[in-house]
Structure 1
């Protein structure tokens, strides 16, 4: 029975991916926008889960890298006049450099000090962005129509192009995290997730694996920031460095779905957008429900909804290790 449920779960993941691949041809523009937003949040959730869930680096300043990616892309594409194909990897490189610098500043901090420190860095960068000449100051700046038309001559074409880009980034992010967790670094991260002291005693270089996942995540978060900019068609300090959109909601998704798992962010994203669609017309009730649900999960199911499901199934839908008894994937 358990094996059958696992196979059904894996089949559901495959069918879901196939549906996402045909979405530009099967869904209305409104549904495509919703899917684009969901995949964007899923990418950010998977990356924050890598840093906090596996790397045990509890930052609440991930929105800093979203904003850095957005502003770097605007600077290269608009102010420097670079082609989008060049400006995009350049923005990722800038975010990578900032990721190294930020980690060098914060790596000695732990628990609440790390969380507050990362938040302070993010808010400081937002204030700096609002003072940058050529970027529109506090009100931000819009991308010109000529740049957006490179994604498609008409709005539906641009929407489909952006959706495909977001889908590719999401799938590659998932695959990258899966491969990382299957590597030697992944074994160290899994041990670090279960017990930091135990991992250190077992010979895991905890400082190295923390740095690896934090620095690896930074440029990909910056890439997501570029895609967010293309979706919105503009940059601004408040929107590009939004703590609510790019960190708080992401934390909710991961906590609800399950910290330290590949399946958790997927489940959390589904729950988050389902609640948003059902409750968005009820004003503050939407946020109250999100907060109440987070508290209940933290108190009674600290490993999230996927933790409850895995307790019944006894294994993951996306295997990360080999079963030592059989040598097969669990």
Structure 2
């Protein structure tokens, strides 16, 4: 569908302009959360999925809708409820009496940007319907495998699991999210500005796409070309290995997590205008990429230890490597 020819513009000039337009566009709706916006955009550039976890009412859904309006891609929303069935997500075959044949009607998962709203309010069986889509970009229904549109990104919102009426996401599904990020409450000035806007038409309704689908695909290809020195690869693996034998963890970071951390680091380097990774790219995304994949021991949970704090401690103990720049950088 898309040509493999890379764009002729300078590697970092035009992409940086596109990324700035995307961030500025989203910030017209989401105030004072640039770090979270950049993490979500990095996930998009890396071809990964995002779990937005926070309390209700802080703008998780608004952020996803703003991203969908910023990128000229197809978009759908799935409201997850306790009675939602897997076929409500993936699609269903309908029998036509006149033709005597079954016709497959694609579900809402067949879009390029998919909002899985309040994912943890549905049953594990329905949650599992997303696993194949997230990992392989395809859906198998009625014995037939169908490819999802490309590029494909799932953005799921989740309320804290200690709230009533929620189901914890299984480890296999958490491991398929490139990042878990939160928004948090807005600052005083941002919340006042939000209240001032209530008398005007919603900024979300006025958003227009600022990046084409073809441009997004090219940006994703450029991210894959970012160079990672051997020292960076070793640093990534040492961080993951440090979680696997820690006394307070039952489950550490998987090899998939290592690959995710490297991909996210490349996206961070790209967004900062570099064609090569530095250790700060790895450290900067270690928490959103790895923390949600860790499983604490019962003793650690009883002691009130949090996975993000434990990960920070592990990363702080690993020597930051020296490195060489990529040739020609």
Greater fraction strand: 2
Greater fraction helix: 1
Which structure ranks higher in relative contact order (CA pairs < 8 Å, sequence separation ≥ 6)? 1
Query: TM-score normalised by the shorter chain: which range applies?
Result: under 0.3
